[in-house]
Amino acid sequence: MVKIKKNEYYKTQILNLIYNKQPISRIRIGEITGIRLATITEIVRELIKEGLVKETGKIRNRQGVGRREKILEIIPEGKFFIGCELRPGEIQTLLLNFKGEIVHTELCSISPEQKSNEVLVNIKSIINLLVKKAGIPYKKIYGMGFVDPGVIDVEKGISISSTIMPSWKNVPVRKYLEQELRFRVFLINTPQAKVLAEHLFGKGRGISDLVFIEYGDGIACGIISDGKPIGGYMEIAGEMGHFNFPGREEKCRCGNRGCLEAIASIHSIEDRMRKIVKDSVSIEDIVCAFERREPPAVEVLNDVSEVLGIAVANVVKLLNPEVVVFDRNFKRMGNKFVDRMFKNIKKNIIFGEKVMFKISDMGKEQGALGGAALTLQNFLKKT
């Protein structure tokens, strides 16, 4: 019994080492881990049999003498991981291989009036379609990460509430999908999934202290501190969209007045301009007017850059990140606005002069990618 457990622990350690340091030889694995070579050979044989690892050639050992050592690499098609993001009006899914490459994506639309059980059926169908179109056998799928825009209970696998669908309350997402799809389901909220995607594949790659500022119709931040995602007691850490600005009257969907989101989200900016010019205008029009220095647009966007500057600076002061990655939606705001906002952030930071600002170049799959990445991480932890 003890031996089995010990070997399982070694197996996880060896697979992680091959994953992170490939190509790598059995002897080098022994040097790093201190595990006996006979045990390594036995475990590697198992990993090869399971289709996770392959021998890809020979290299000289590090001393450059003696016989050449066989080297090991992971097989990209050895395991697959699904990411599924629920967002306003649609479900985004993707399939990730063991190497972290997106193999296939599928998108389907939903309506906010749909009942939660209908949405669950939609999720099941789109996942089945994703797997079918990619031509992957189900047994090669380790699991999926469900990316939720609302409040979740990660332990129980329940989505508690959502601001995008009124009927979505206490939905047993994990229980239903695990029963229907027959693989593991993990839950993660959207900003956390997005920061994880940046941390593993994007502008925050390898950065241990990282913040991602999600920006669109809502504002939130995903946090990685000391290499670990920070979810908080109820997995709702990072709700910076509800940072409150005293004296402001803008009404927020949370019920309060003067929240960052109610002042500075894309939707709120369009709303504010519509009230001033008495006509509906898109954010693109507002940004153009701002760049031409037209008074109402300048007034509104200067104010927005100021409140965003204060809010992001507060996040930086609290968490001391090395890098802050900003949502790709900031590209829609134009360089002039972004430069001004960056200056406003810097102005409000006291000791964090070294913090770097980057704009994300991830596409609309970012959330789903984070969900799949979480599943991959869980696989590497628990093999």
Residues of this chain that interact with Zn ion (CB under 5 A) are 242, 252, 254, 256, 259
Least distance in Å: CB of 164 to Zn ion? Answer: 15
H or E element, residue 264: helix 260-264
Residue nearer to Zn ion on the CB measure, 111 or 256 = 256
Q: In angstroms, rounded to a whole number, what is the distance separating the alpha carbons of residues 141 and 78? A: 9
Residue nearer to Zn ion on the CB measure, 252 or 369 = 252
Residue nearer to Zn ion on the CB measure, 33 or 163 = 163
Least distance in Å: CB of 100 to Zn ion? Answer: 35
Least distance in Å: CB of 327 to Zn ion? Answer: 18
Q: In angstroms, rounded to a whole number, what is the distance separating the alpha carbons of residues 179 and 197? A: 27
Residue nearer to Zn ion on the CB measure, 261 or 327 = 261
Nearest-10 Cα torsion for 138, 141, 142, 148: -110
Least distance in Å: CB of 261 to Zn ion? Answer: 6
- Interhelix angle 334-348/295-319, nearest 10 degrees: 40
Residue 2 DSSP symbol: H
Least distance in Å: CB of 311 to Zn ion? Answer: 12
Does residue 357 contact residue 341 with C-beta atoms inside 8 Å?
no
Burial of 129 (0-12, 13-18, 19+ CB in 10 A): middle
Nearest-10 Cα torsion for 262, 268, 272, 273: 160
Least distance in Å: CB of 219 to Zn ion? Answer: 10
> Residue 278's CB: how many other CB atoms inside 10 A?
7
Residue nearer to Zn ion on the CB measure, 53 or 220 = 220
Residue nearer to Zn ion on the CB measure, 254 or 288 = 254
